[in-house]
Structure 1
Amino acid sequence: MAGHSKWANTRHRKAAQDAKRGKIFTKIIRELVTAAKLGGGDPDANPRLRAAVDKALANNMTRDTLNRAIARGVGGDDDANMETIIYEGYGPGGTAIMIECLSDNRNRTVAEVRHAFSKCGGNLGTDGSVAYLFSKKGVISFEKGDEDTIMEAALEAGAEDVVTYDDGAIDVYTAWEEMGKVRDALEAAGLKADSAEVSMIPSTKADMDAETAPKLLRLIDMLEDCDDVQEVYHNGEISDEVAATLE
């Protein structure tokens, strides 16, 4: 399969993301604690924890910090009493947006999410309004690589699909629970991925133009600035040409 690479859609936001690293660490620790509380402290037996561990390591979190967070969850730390809440809505240009939160106060969280939508020309929707457009998957990404080699190893390890983009980037899609196993198999074959994450993959895309793209990015930034928001997923597609105007 071929298509437009997601790398073009994230490249120009890297500096802003790097500036948020402290907040990102706090959110990852919260997810580690919650995942360990709900499913146990063994990443091999707890897919949610394995995904959180992979994300922590990808963001250069130390093993010591990571292990302390897991221990807190297994020990019943108060942070582990938070609940996962999913909000859905529509952003600029008709984009479908899903927001994954961890919160101990639903009223506070929904107020912050609703405020971000209202400031950026979007609308918070009802449960199910856009969820049907997304599927939860594991995504193992290579910026460059040999398509045949990666495809053979990935499919043999149980991957569901392998997508090659116009710029040479490759995404391996898995059932989200199987992402760690497939990634381990790829590494055993000498294929080290640039990133691996559990994500909500949209079935359709909404093309962003020079007017709607910056509005969408502003909304995403505002949502990610909310302490209770863990992840923001959307189906907005920003072309290389539009992305170049944002840099």
Structure 2
Amino acid sequence: MAGHSKEANIKHQSAAQDGKRGKAFTTLVGEMATAARQHSDIDTNLRLRAAVGSRLGVFGPVKDALDEQGFDACPAQVTMVPDTKAELALDQAKDLMDMIDLVEDLDGVQKRYANACISKNLVEQRL
């Protein structure tokens, strides 16, 4: 039975990795569908171009197929940076991190932003 534990560990690791890929794919499809509804031409639709470019690292064959079609795919990302930041107490930071975890599990959520300052020690404790 020595090999059973190793096989189980591999199975669980593969399942976790497949789950991450599935979530990334769902997010990618949602971003692309929303952007394509506005205008389907990738040359003039910056949101569509960003949606395609932001996930190319996760999906190599997506990039290969675009290259074959003559599209120059490069990663791009737009971020929101707060002008003011809020210092949170320990219990407030824990509550905020719990809420962010719940929001991340929703299918419709593509990005989330906050202006909270949370110490690295607290974040490491959560991991």
Q: TM-score range by the shorter chain?
A: 0.5 to 0.7
Instruction: Assess if the C-alpha contact under 8 Å between 2:56 and 2:63 holds in 1.
Output: no
CA RMSD between the two structures: 3.1
Q: Report the Cα distance in structure 2 between the residues aligned to 1:66 and 1:222, rounded to whole angstroms.
A: 34
Instruction: Assess if the C-alpha contact under 8 Å between 1:205 and 1:235 holds in 2.
Output: yes
Counterpart in 2 of 1:232? 112
- Any gaps of 5 or more consecutive residues in structure 2? 1-15, 67-73
When residues 38 and 61 of structure 1 are mapped into structure 2, their CA distance, relative to the original with a 3 A threshold, is farther
More helix by share: 2
Deviations 1:98-151 (A, max 9, x none): xxxxxxxxxxxxxxxxxxxxxxxxxxxxxxxxxxxxxxxxxxxxxxxxxxxxxx
When residues 211 and 19 of structure 1 are mapped into structure 2, their CA distance, relative to the original with a 3 A threshold, is farther
Which structure is higher in RCO with an 8 Å CA cutoff and minimum separation 6?
1
Q: Report the Cα distance in structure 2 between the residues aligned to 1:58 and 1:207, rounded to whole angstroms.
A: 34
- Any gaps of 5 or more consecutive residues in structure 1? 1-15, 68-183, 185-194
When residues 214 and 40 of structure 1 are mapped into structure 2, their CA distance, relative to the original with a 3 A threshold, is same
Residues 236-247 of structure 1 aligned to structure 2 (within 5 Å): 236-247=116-127
> TM-score, normalization: structure 2?
0.63
Counterpart in 1 of 2:35? 35
Q: Report the Cα distance in structure 2 between the residues aligned to 1:28 and 1:215, rounded to whole angstroms.
A: 28
Deviations 1:218-241 (A, max 9, x none): 211211211222221111122223
Name the larger-Rg structure. 2
Deviations 1:161-187 (A, max 9, x none): xxxxxxxxxxxxxxxxxxxxxxx7xxx
> TM-score, normalization: structure 1?
0.36
Amino acid at match of 1:229: V
When residues 241 and 199 of structure 1 are mapped into structure 2, their CA distance, relative to the original with a 3 A threshold, is same
Amino acid at match of 2:35: A
Q: Report the Cα distance in structure 1 between the residues aligned to 2:19 and 2:77, rounded to whole angstroms.
A: 20
Secondary structure of 2:81 counterpart: strand
Aligned residues: 105
Q: Report the Cα distance in structure 2 between the residues aligned to 1:240 and 1:57, rounded to whole angstroms.
A: 29
Residues 214-225 of structure 1 aligned to structure 2 (within 5 Å): 214-225=94-105
Counterpart in 1 of 2:54? 55
Residues 130-209 of structure 1 aligned to structure 2 (within 5 Å): 196-209=76-89
Q: Report the Cα distance in structure 1 between the residues aligned to 2:44 and 2:110, rounded to whole angstroms.
A: 22
Q: Report the Cα distance in structure 1 between the residues aligned to 2:97 and 2:38, rounded to whole angstroms.
A: 33
Instruction: Assess if the C-alpha contact under 8 Å between 2:88 and 2:118 holds in 1.
Output: yes
Amino acid at match of 2:108: D
More strand by share: 1
* Shift of residue 65, structure 1, vs aligned partner: 9.8
Q: Report the Cα distance in structure 2 between the residues aligned to 1:220 and 1:196, rounded to whole angstroms.
A: 24
